[in-house]
Amino acid sequence: MRSLDLPLDQTAVSRFLPWIMAGLLYLAVVALAVAAIADGALQLFDQRDKMVTVSLPTAGISEDGDRDVADVLRVLNGSKDVASADVVPDDELQDLIEPWLGERDEGEDLPLPRLIDVSLDPLSKPDLRALERQLREVVPDATIGIQEVSEGRAERQAAFFRTVGITLGAVLLLCSLAIVTIITSLSLAMHDDTVTLLRYMGAQDGYLARQFERYALHSGLRGGLIGFFAAMVTVLGVLYSIQNLEMTNSIRLGLRPVDWIFLACVPVIAALLCTLTARLTALWSLGRMA
Amino acid sequence: MLQLEQIGMRYGQGPEVLHDINLTLDRGDFIFLVGPSGAGKTSLMHIMGLIHMPSRGSFRIFGRDVVGFNRDDLSESRRRIGMMFQDFRLINHLTAFDNVALPLRIGGAREREIRELVYEMLEWLGLTEVMDAKPPSLSTGQRQIVAAARAAISRPNLLLGDEPTSNIDTQRARRLMRLFTELSKEGTTVVLSTHNDELIDRYPHPVYHLEKGRLTGKTRTPTQLAAAD
């Protein structure tokens, strides 16, 4: 970068701007990464809720088992929240229980429940308890397998982290803009003599504001990139640790491709916002100095 | 080009430092402004350089009355003036090259053009060896020449030099004067305030005397007077 007419990178008040930006952007990117991971987890929870299993424990031994299955299928297919319902085939059922009961001999007659895989409409918000009551009206021991209690709690935590992450990220970005505003105002006051000299030479406010704009862009990009890469190292390290320690057993936490793009945009957007802030602050302050 | 009528000036609520100044300069004029210290030379230069506004009187520059100037007019007119300050006012963190380039950058010239013009100017003034040095590491004379180069680099319509040769040797002073003379021939109006009698004597330009804030007379140099006799 060609030397600025104003020594913004040599004065105490502004020389640390890139490092301040790096620190703030580091925290902002970490916060937004947490929000993105939480958002990804919420989507997984959403997808998981869209698949449920209806089990009919006594249908396997009851004489009316096939009729019960047919009745349940009729109720399920009649529900607007259900996209499809398929009976789990016997051989698949055998495979499911094999890890617990071992390989069964031909003709061994162990009563098994009948299971129906149900895909729910992805756009609906089904009341699974109400659906279960409807099923019990036709088959009294029908149950819908919902991991509602534990996942409901994890889901609430994910939603909390998403909100906190976004809020914190936004607050940190606003802080960086506030710091740029303060540093620009202080720098203008500190370099009053040089500003006056440049004005004597015919420099317009736009020319002078560009000095601050260039410095803010340079500092913002430099600090932003340092902060971004440091944050990525942190986030990837934490994700790696979580996965290795198997701290989550139901949802695989991670960043989606769209999250990477979003997070990579953060330092660039922050630098552009800092540039705009510096320009507007300088123009406003110069207008008052005149 | 420049017309001062009944100009008076005071700083704040202080006493008037310039009284009833009348001065008209045309394109290409070259004058010396002389007078003892405290006579008001710098104040008059600052008025002509649009640094200070007169407290009274009429001041027209580049065909317009300064009273009607808005901020853009003021900036635009200042870009047409090259000002060489008595204390040089170089920017210490910039190199000699970048200090000289300032008026061109402010005027929006392209970097390639700036590089060529500044190098040419510094070469002509014998300063290429120190063009990457910063003002604190330059001698007083070198700083003065850099200040002169900065004032002249944009070939301004009006060039104002406040004691432009006070710290430099005769050879460099003559070189500077040659630069100012060439600019004047190309149409730049040049006003130099000086105490240097040798300079005044050597160059046949009108000399305006300023005493206690008043222009007391206009003479030619002793050489001219002798020639007239």
Q: Is A199 in Cβ contact with B78 (below 8 Å)?
A: yes
Helix and strand tally (H, E) in chain A? 9, 4
Residue A202: which of B89, B94, B106 has the nearest Cβ? Answer: B106
Chain B interface, best mutation among A200, A214, A286, by max B CB count within 10 A: A200
The per-residue pLDDT for A92 is 80
- Beta partners for B33? B193, B208
Q: Tell me the chain A residues in contact with residue B78 when contact means C-beta distances shorter than 8 Å.
A: 199-202
CA dihedral A67, A70, A74, A76 (to 10 degrees): 120
Q: Tell me the chain B residues in contact with residue A204 when contact means C-beta distances shorter than 8 Å.
A: 71-72, 75
Residue A289, chain B, CB below 8 Å: the answer is no
Residue A159, chain B, CB below 8 Å: the answer is no
Q: Phi and psi for A31 in degrees, rounded to 5? A: -60, -45
Q: Tell me the chain A residues in contact with residue B131 when contact means C-beta distances shorter than 8 Å.
A: none
The per-residue pLDDT for B227 is 56
Q: Which residues of A33-69 are buried (b: 16+ CB within 10 A; e: fewer)?
A: bbbbbbbbbbebbeeebbebebbbbbbbebeebeebb
Query: pLDDT tens for residues B91-110?
Result: 999 999 999 999 999 999 99
- Beta partners for B84? B161
The per-residue pLDDT for B109 is 94
Q: Tell me the chain A residues in contact with residue B76 when contact means C-beta distances shorter than 8 Å.
A: 202
Tokens of B172: 């460099």
Nearest CA in chain A to B52: A200
Residue B94, chain A, CB below 8 Å: the answer is yes
Instruction: Name residues whose C-beta falls within 8 Å of residue A268's C-beta, 6 or more positions apart in sequence.
Output: A221, A224
Residue B93: which of A7, A197, A202 has the nearest Cβ? Answer: A7
pTM for the whole structure: 0.75
> How far from chain centre, in Å, is Cα B65?
20
Distances (CA, A) of A100 to A95, A96, A103, A281: 10, 8, 9, 70
Instruction: Name residues whose C-beta falls within 8 Å of residue B205's C-beta, 6 or more positions apart in sequence.
Output: B30, B31, B32, B221
Q: Which residues of chain B have pLDDT under 70?
A: 220-229
Q: Tell me the chain A residues in contact with residue B95 when contact means C-beta distances shorter than 8 Å.
A: 3
Cβ pair A50, A167 in contact under 8 A: no
Closest by CA to B141, choosing from B154, B152, B126, B156, is B126
- Complex confidence, ipTM: 0.91
Distances (CA, A) of A185 to A181, A278, A284: 6, 9, 9
Maximum Cα interatomic distance, chain A, rounded to a whole number of Å? 103
Instruction: Name residues whose C-beta falls within 8 Å of residue B74's C-beta, 6 or more positions apart in sequence.
Output: B50
The per-residue pLDDT for A149 is 46
CA-based nearest distance B156→chain A, Å: 11
CA-based nearest distance A177→chain B, Å: 27
Query: pLDDT tens for residues B62-80?
Result: 999 998 899 899 999 999 9
CA-based nearest distance A231→chain B, Å: 35
CA-based nearest distance B151→chain A, Å: 9
Distance CA(B198)–CA(B172), nearest Å, equals: 14
CA dihedral B49, B51, B52, B58 (to 10 degrees): 40
Query: What angle (nearest 5°) sits at the alpha carbon of residue B180, between those of residues B121 and B223?
Result: 145
Distance CA(A158)–CA(B51), nearest Å, equals: 63
Residue A283, chain B, CB below 8 Å: the answer is no
The per-residue pLDDT for A60 is 64
pLDDT along chain A (290 residues), means of 10: 80 85 94 91 72 78 79 89 85 74 62 82 78 88 69 76 92 94 92 93 94 93 94 90 65 83 92 95 88
Distance CA(B197)–CA(A7), nearest Å, equals: 39
- Beta partners for B217? B209
Distance CA(B53)–CA(A226), nearest Å, equals: 49
DSSP class of A170 = H
Q: Tell me the chain B residues in contact with residue A210 when contact means C-beta distances shorter than 8 Å.
A: none
Nearest CA in chain B to A194: B91
Residue B227, chain A, CB below 8 Å: the answer is no
Among residues 7-36 of chain A, which lie with CB inside 8 Å of chain B?
7, 10
Closest by CA to A239, choosing from A40, A46, A23, A22, is A40
